Amino acid sequence: MHRIVLLGPPGVGKGTQASRLARELAIPHLSTGDLLRAAVAARTPLGREAEAHMAAGRLVPDPIVLKILEERLAAPDCRGGYILDGFPRNVPQAIALESIAPLDAVLSLDLPEATLIGRLSGRRVCPTCQAVYHLATLPPKVPGRCDKDGAELVQRPDDRPEAIATRLQVYHEQTTPLLDHYRQRGLVRPVDARGAPEEVYRRLRAGVGSG
């Protein structure tokens, strides 16, 4: 059984690594953002509740998120485990989660802050097709232009250095107590996220173990 929470700051490569791990273990990768959007699109009662908050620019309250997550975890494909990405974000959410979702491991991807800022500040996005590039690691063929449609690439406001610093501060303020909470339960397995994605994945996979 692999019931996993994946933690890591913005820019650490969490989504890429989680998707690959989910494929290898044949378990679902559950992003709370995706779950909320799916519930809204399906027009479920909980989805309609969530939509009202999202439309007003508010965070969806934890009880609604937890109910949507609980419904998803009851699906047959979660019987062998799951990877939770984006939840919990703080200790109260972790405590609430424990009542519906037992965990086997909390994988914490770690990367120096300077490296994170470099990764995020180099990201560029096509405003037309949403393709993502990176000035250092995945540059477009023509500088500043999307390979697919030639549109001028842009930098998202939250990828600017000053915004990144704020995002990282918020992450650390929320996640440091969360990691302490999980360490007390013997669940945390640190993963060094430096190096190529393949190297990081090998460390991540080793942290999971055989289950």
148 is catalytic: no
Indicate which residue of 20, 167, 189, 205 is catalytic.
Answer: 167
C-alpha span between 35 and 43 (Å, rounded): 12
Beta strand residue intervals within the chain, DSSP E:
2-7, 29-31, 81-85, 105-110, 123-125, 132-134, 188-192
**Which is nearest to 204 in space by CA: 18, 41, 28?**
18
Indicate which residue of 14, 119, 124, 203 is catalytic.
Answer: 14
Indicate which residue of 148, 156, 183, 185 is catalytic.
Answer: 156
Cβ atoms within 10 Å, residue 131: 17
123 is catalytic: yes
Indicate which residue of 3, 72, 123, 124 is catalytic.
Answer: 123
Cβ atoms within 10 Å, residue 105: 21
Indicate which residue of 20, 37, 67, 89 is catalytic.
Answer: 89
C-alpha span between 167 and 174 (Å, rounded): 11
167 is catalytic: yes
Catalytic residues: 14, 89, 123, 156, 167
